[in-house]
A and B are shown apart, each in its own frame.
Chain A
Amino acid sequence: MKTADDAQLAAFDARWRSPRGWLGFFTEVNNQQLGVRFMVTSLIFFAIGGFLALLMRIQLTVPENDFMGPQLYNELFTLHGSTMMFLFAVPFLEGLALYVLPLMIGSRDVAFPRLTAFSYWTYLFGGLIFYASLLTGTPPDAGWFAYTPLSGPGFAGLGMDFWVMGLALVEIAGLAAGVEIVVTILKLRAPGMSLRRLPMLAWTLLVSGAMMIFAFSVLLVATLLLELDRAAGFAFFDPDRGGSSLLWQHLFWFFGHPEVYIMFLPATGIVSTLVTTAARRPLAAYPLVAMAVVVTGFVSFGLWMHHMYATGLPELGLSFFAAASLMIGVASGIQIFAWIATLWGSRPRITVPFLYVLGFFFNFVLGGFTGVMVAVVPFDWQVHDTFFIVAHFHYVLIGGVVFPVFAALHYWLPKVTGRLQNERLGRWGFWLNFAGCNLTFFPMHIMGFLGLARRVYTYPEELQIGGYNIVSTLGAFLMAAGFVAIVVDLLRSVRRGPAAGDNPWDTGTLDGSMSSPPPIYSFLRPPVVRSREPLWGPVKHKAGEPALEEEALSERASAALHAAPSDWRATLATDAITGRPSGVQVLAEPSLSPLLSALGLTLAFVGVLLKSYLLIPLGLVLAVSFLARWMYPSSDYNRKVYSSGLAERSGLPVLLEGARSCSWWGMLCFVGIAGSAFVALFFCYFYLWLFAESWPPPDAAPPDPLRGAIAHAPLLLAAGAAWLAKRRLAAPGFSAARGPLLLLSAALAFTVLQLGLGSFELATLPFSPRDHSYGSSVWVMLMVVLTFSLTAALLLACSLARARRIEPWDLTPLRLQLQLTTMFVLLTALAAAGTYAVVHLAPRLL
């Protein structure tokens, strides 16, 4: 009996073991490994970005300094800002989420392990493209928000292309991570972990992940439009050809403002976790805090004009945005007072991570207060684009994000490495960082009042701010020393720190129940959760909590998955709201495909960059084929899962479909991404229209509605056919595949028909996308519909191929595949209908 157990344990262990050898490094998909890679890579970028900042501070120390020229300075602040925003803050939090989230919510891995790997590689390649601009000697120099027309083809050189293409890859990585985080939290929680028992860090990551899905897709659209202007001569942002210089600012800040909260919300989650642990009691006013987090997420999308008060927009509109900004202030107030209430009288132990939390309190409250000040319209007219703003957002980003990141680093490092850090060195690091941060940035408030504009490489002595600048530069070096102390501490502890034990901070969340470092599969047996802080002991059942029979269900599922299955990787899937076990989710195993498809995408982007247009289709084909290879379901695999008997033992389905499956939720997220991308395109079209003298321009007739209807209608038919096929397959007593086969073939035929007609329409448009922004926007929308159509055709072809021969174990996976395909075809049809209404009907009706 014992040997049988040991054998099973060994088999389970082997199933999860990381692939070995140098090739293994590239096929790795495990969340812990990749989470650490994300964090290490982002910290390296952080060090680089910090070094660039030091150079800038040296230049600004005295007036009219000639340490460096204007070109280099402009390149430095562009790289510094972009690195810190895109290559450090978000990726670090993604890495932390990948590592900590499964430990906290009781899952063995994240929902889409191969997507994790894909996300990491695209992030890395994006960062490398970004810095490759140094090799050609042309770093980007238009600032991290790259305002057009300065970043357009007329004013910025090759460096800007590196910036755009590198950023686009990083955005794709961010989108992937967002989907990953959202689906993991919704579907892979421990049984019993209803949303009201979700750790606050997971709440913040859930909101932040959802925000990434919407915000990054708009930014992706914006950057691709900019690149079309730059590389293909389109006219979106060119005022001479009907484009708008301000359009970019709307698109960028629609992303840019939520971006701040995408970073800040998980940081507050970290603070909530650490405050709870330090106080050794549950977070005060938990429902209010969760509500504040969700409200912040929503309202932050209504704030982008916050950055555009000085653009001469009507004042009434600005007041609305000012009021929305204040709502965020209240939401932050709730969080701060909840932390104070939690700590009240708890006599917390002042550990190094908790010191960073206190530092966060000080810096973030200060930065938040200057934040509500700059939300005040007339005041912002003075301080906008001055060093006051520089001071404000560094307080928010360093105080509000970097300090919690450092806190998290100290807090979870013992979990990752199994070793404790040096308390003394940690305290030195904190005080250097705290003093350095305040010395660097506090004087900048005053400098801003005294006339120092942002992004100037030097300033005249007349401004009388030399003294403040000396203090500021000194502070920057203190911060650098603080970072060195952290790194030294980190490296020392990894090599020879004392053993940490399982729960060095006595935390109440599930991560404390693991050994340090945790096993690669995290949970040998899925935990069953009965309270918000499961390690602090169960609480009594209250009305409305899951009843006892559900708990029995949970226990049974948990026992069935003890060191099992060992033939494939799996974890428990639960209901998105109640946390009731709903199935056994299959998890992907190591594969080279994510790396290769990321490489293909990178190749295509480099092709755009180098204007070697052969590389683009080559790279895209490579990317798509490896993407297909990685996701193509294998019948053998299905049989293995189907015939394992796990379903009987656990009382749960093992082959999942519909809302029980992670893939279904992933597809829903993808629909969100595509939907917001389309809304962004529609917004561009109507925005340009609003400011155009005549739309379409006098020499361009809008495309013919009848031809457009003929070109787009087949997609509606395709969607109908796919939907019927899906229904036919879902019907009980289904036996023969003939019904769905016919319907699927019809859907495929309609889609291919649309591809042909749509391409013909695009090719025979009576205007060029290069002449006017009207042509550019119409062309891009039609092109995107065609791309969707092509993807839909590929998916339908796949489904058709799979539906031709169905074994019993393939039935559920096929159903799932059809559900996802139908979702995508429906989305395509909807996008086509929207595009038709916007492109063909609107100019004639409005």
Chain B
Amino acid sequence: MKRVAKSGMGVPPMGSAVAWASRPWIGGRTFAATAALLLTGCHPGHRQSALHTAAEASGEIARLWWAMFIVLTLSFIFVMALTWIAIRRRPRADDSPTTTVRWQNRFVIFGGIAFPTAVLTWMLLDSLGTSRALRQPPEGLRIEVVGYQWWWDVRYPEHDLAIANEIYIPAGEPVVIDLGAADVIHSFWVPNLHGKVDMFPDYPTRIVLRADRPGRWRGQCAEFCGRQHAWMAFEVVALPREEFDAWLAERAAARAAITAAPPPASEAIARGKDIFFRESCHTCHPVHGTPADSLIGPDLTHLGTRLTLGAGRIANTDENLARWIIDPQGLKPGNLMPETPLDDAELSDLVAYLRSLR
């Protein structure tokens, strides 16, 4: 309980895996261990790439791509070369109309039927093989992800945990993600880990992810879903199992702390909480253990540990959070959140309260 309160004041707790895993990752003060992990784990620059893979599934697909790329590039060169020869070549002296017709028919049957059939059959077989390799039994940690215009509701039903716009998973283990949508069709896509699966308001879909190693990747909605489709992103963070368990434990501890309703760690946080309810933030955003329970916007119970704001729009820092509260429409036009006019003191109190929710 004490640790939670300390975190709420913005003092980073040091020295434990639990502590570093729970810190915001963007913000400049990342630990050396984390940096090393990410640098060796994957190319830090391509956190949303189908070719810089970090999972067996995406790796299989990338392998299939490179195989097709090589075979079809050679075929392309072959066809272009034939075309070039066809228009440059001189007619042979012994070309009579009958032999030409016979030759032409053979040429078309071999080149136009046999050759593509061979290439395409190989592709079909390789594709079926890849599909088989990608098949995963739906066993492992269960996560529910629901797409909203334009953010992601993320729940761990076995752990009574609700977060938003980021998914923490244990590395090296399969996780079963049940997908749905609240309004229109969205699509769940983390290219470094797997292909995409659409999310529907009227029937469930599912994807099994398994990151080979710890790391952090960016995912994005891939089905056009309205005005802010571009900024409907999320983060996937794969942690080693023990760190993941510690992360879960810390979230549970934070929730338990809220339920126990201790005196606020500071005046500012207390004032900020009042402002949160006064300004009706709670009519859209749930916060565990408080009267705020209507899910129209993202669950803010663990907002303090959130990596980004506005579903990948900006990094979650004190200043950015203040900007977001004052001017959500300027940062992400069309989203449901109205502007909340506050003076500087009130704003900093509200930010202090929200950042204390870890």
Contacts and interface: CB of A to CB of B under 8 A. Distances in A.
B206 interface: yes
Q: For the side of the interface on B, what is the size category?
A: 35 or more
Given A245-B202, A449-B49, A455-B224, A384 B196 contact: yes
Contact of B334 (A71, A337, A379): A71
A70 B80 contact: no
B194 A454 contact: no
Given A74-B227, A369-B76, A451-B47, 9 more contacts: A70-B334, A142-B224, A147-B224, A239-B200, A345-B86, A372-B120, A385-B187, A385-B224, A454-B224
Contacts of B233: 460
Contact of B218 (A141, A361, A451): A451
Contact of B111 (A329, A333, A373): A333
Contacts of B111: 333, 337, 340-341
A68 to B, nearest CB: 11
Contacts, number: 260
Q: Which 9 A/B pairs are nearest by Cβ-Cβ distance?
A: A381-B195, A451-B48, A337-B112, A239-B202, A456-B230, A312-B205, A333-B116, A284-B104, A337-B111
Nearest to A278: B87
Given A319-B128, A338-B108, A346-B91, A150 B226 contact: yes
B54 to A, nearest CB: 13
A386 B222 contact: yes
A426 to B, nearest CB: 18
A385 B201 contact: no
Contacts of B105: 284-285, 288
B83 A462 contact: no
A386 B227 CA distance: 17
B61 A330 contact: no
Given A330-B117, A333-B115, A459-B230, A369 B191 contact: no
Interface in A339-374: 340-348, 350, 358, 361-362, 365-366, 369, 372-373
A457 interface: yes
A334 B83 contact: no
Interface string B212-244: 000000101111111111100100000000000
Interface in B156-215: 183-185, 187, 189, 191, 194-198, 200-203, 205-206
A182 to B, nearest CB: 27
12 contacts: A71-B227, A147-B184, A284-B104, A284-B107, A310-B222, A330-B117, A340-B83, A345-B86, A347-B91, A373-B68, A449-B51, A459-B230
Interface of A: 69-71, 74, 141-143, 147, 149-150, 154-155, 239, 243-246, 284-285, 288, 292, 310-312, 315, 319, 322-323, 326, 329-330, 332-338, 340-348, 350, 358, 361-362, 365-366, 369, 372-373, 376-386, 448-451, 453-460, 462-464, 691
B270 interface: no
B203 A691 contact: yes
Nearest to B207: A312
A451 B185 CA distance: 19
A464 B46 contact: yes
B90 A382 contact: no
Contact of A376 (B123, B222, B224): B123
A346 to B, nearest CB: 7
A57 to B, nearest CB: 16
B107 A337 contact: yes
A343 B90 CA distance: 11
Contacts of B206: 312
A341 B107 contact: yes
A381 B206 CA distance: 13
Contacts of A312: 197-198, 205-206
A91 to B, nearest CB: 26
Given A239-B202, A338-B108, A459-B230, A343 B221 contact: no
A334 B113 contact: yes
A154 B149 CA distance: 13
B29 interface: no
B342 to A, nearest CB: 25
B201 A239 contact: yes
Contacts of B189: 453
B226 A155 contact: yes
A150 B198 CA distance: 14
B89 interface: yes
Contact of A245 (B75, B185, B222): B185
Contacts of B104: 284-285, 338, 341-342, 344
A323 B121 CA distance: 9
Contacts of A383: 50
B184 A150 contact: yes
Interface in B104-134: 104-105, 107-109, 111-113, 115-117, 120-121, 123-124, 126-128, 130-131, 134
A290 to B, nearest CB: 12
Nearest to A247: B202
B60 interface: yes
Contacts of A142: 224
Contact of A288 (B108, B126, B196): B108
Contact of A323 (B72, B124, B134, B224): B124
A358 B83 contact: yes
Most chain B CB within 10 A, of A358, A379, A464, is at A379
